[in-house]
Amino acid sequence: MKKSLLLLSICLFIRLTGFGQESVLTANRFIALLSEAQKTESVFPFDVEERYNFHFVPMKRRGITFNEMNPQQHKLALDLLRSCLSEETFQKTREIMQLEVVLKELEKRKPEDNFRDPGNYHFTIFGNPSSTSIWGWRFEGHHVSFNFSFNRKTLVAGTPGFMGSNPAIVLNGPMAGKQVLKQESDKGFALINSFNAAQLKKAIIDTVAFKDILTFDKRKALLGKPEGIRYSELSKEQQSLLLQLIRVYVHRYRHDFAEKMMKEIQYEGLDNIWFAWAGYTKPEIGRGSYYRVQGPTIVIEYDNTQNNANHVHSVVRDLKNDFGGDLLLDHYKKGHSH
């Protein structure tokens, strides 16, 4: 089994190298169009602490925003984002950004108030994008954060990968009924509602949902000993539901990279995957819910408690490769020590 996974990993590596070259070219075209002032604000060495500034709340950030870009820069920025995400996730990201317009109306902000602004999302480059160097880039703003790390032309990591939605379900206006993170919600509830009484007793770790994802904006996604119910304690149908849920998060990234992540999860053993739930087990505005998937290489969290439980936070963390991992950083430092 592990031999076949190794062979598949080699094939995926070849494909990842191909699309990595596309990202290198796009990133360099983007940088070439930046003014010196824009470069100062958005291009940094790979080993700066700024690379670990992972946040998903509205706040001042380093990097160039859509509002500060000309049309050519804007197009290349979107091309770079599209090169690393699945098309579905790319569209979801655009929809999350548009929810800023909904929030601006709900909060009755003045037209000149840009606290809620779909153009206020930042692009930041780390290192020198090339086929011979270690580099990365970040796309981040309110309720979106993707952190990509490359070893030359190969994408090594795309996490932390955060997506949020406020409102979770738009209740009024032109976007009424829109539920951007519907799959994340539906797949979680489908799994918990497939459990029998004995399984629920194990899976539910608290009757009250947590106020937010527990990993929050921490550099290390450390949660301690896994809780809940183990993969091996599920029926075949329930195991399939759990894998479907994991794929929703892993396949936020382009298919070949997502499959590499899935193979790493399988390589470490599916029996080492745990699922935990807190809060209500029926989807209803006003009733908070939380779930977590935890294994040797991955943590997934979903929380819907804020704003009367109509405000979702969801994240996928790679326990070995978040921010590119320590080994990639060490390799970068050794290459720049002379």
What mean pLDDT is predicted for residues 161-176?
97
Whether the predicted pLDDT of 324 surpasses 80: yes
Residue 328 pLDDT level (bands cut at 50, 70, 90): low
DSSP bridge pairs for 315:
162, 301
The DSSP bridge pattern shows strands 289-294 and 229-230 to be: unpaired
**In sequence order, which residues have a C-beta less than 8 Å from that of residue 198 and are 6 or more positions away?**
none
3-state secondary structure of 43: strand
pLDDT at residue number 330:
63
Q: How far is C-alpha 75 from the chain's CA centre?
A: 22
Q: pLDDT grade, residue 10 (50/70/90)?
A: very low
Question: Is the pLDDT reported for residue 103 higher than 80?
Answer: yes
On the question of pLDDT at 102 being above 90, the answer is: yes
Q: In this predicted structure, what is the pLDDT of residue 12?
A: 46
Which pLDDT score is estimated for 11?
46
Residue 7 pLDDT level (bands cut at 50, 70, 90): very low
Distance, in Å, from the CA atom of 8 to the CA atom of 46, rounded to the nearest integer, reads 30
Strand-pair partners of 44? 126
Give residue-wise pLDDT tens across range 217-269. Answer: 999 998 999 999 999 999 999 999 999 999 999 999 999 999 999 999 999 99
Measured torsion, CA atoms of residues 89, 94, 99, 101, in degrees rounded to the nearest 10: 180
What's the confidence (pLDDT) of residue 153?
A: 86
Query: Could you tell me the pLDDT band of residue 48, with boundaries at 50, 70 and 90?
Result: very high
Alpha helix ranges (H) inside 33-144: 36-42, 71-84, 87-106
User: Residues 319-323: what's their mean pLDDT?
Assistant: 94
Least confident of 3-12, 55-64, 321-330: 3-12
What number is the average pLDDT over the span 3-17? Answer: 48
Mean of pLDDT over the chain: 93
Per-residue model confidence (pLDDT) at position 152:
83
Predicted confidence (pLDDT) per residue in 15-37, tens digit: 554 556 899 999 999 999 999 99
β-partners of residue 300 are 293, 316
Alpha helices (H) in the chain, listed in sequence order: 2-32, 36-42, 71-84, 87-106, 182-192, 197-203, 236-250, 255-267, 306-309, 325-335
The pLDDT of residue 19 is 54
pLDDT at 13 over 60: no
Question: Which pLDDT tens digit goes with each residue over 130-168?
Answer: 999 999 999 999 999 999 999 988 999 999 999 999 999
pLDDT higher than threshold 80 for residue 86: yes
Longest Cα–Cα distance in the chain: 62
Mean pLDDT in residue range 158-186: 98
**Residue 144 CB contacts under 8 Å (≥ 6 apart), including other chains:** 56, 93, 96, 97, 121, 162, 163, 164
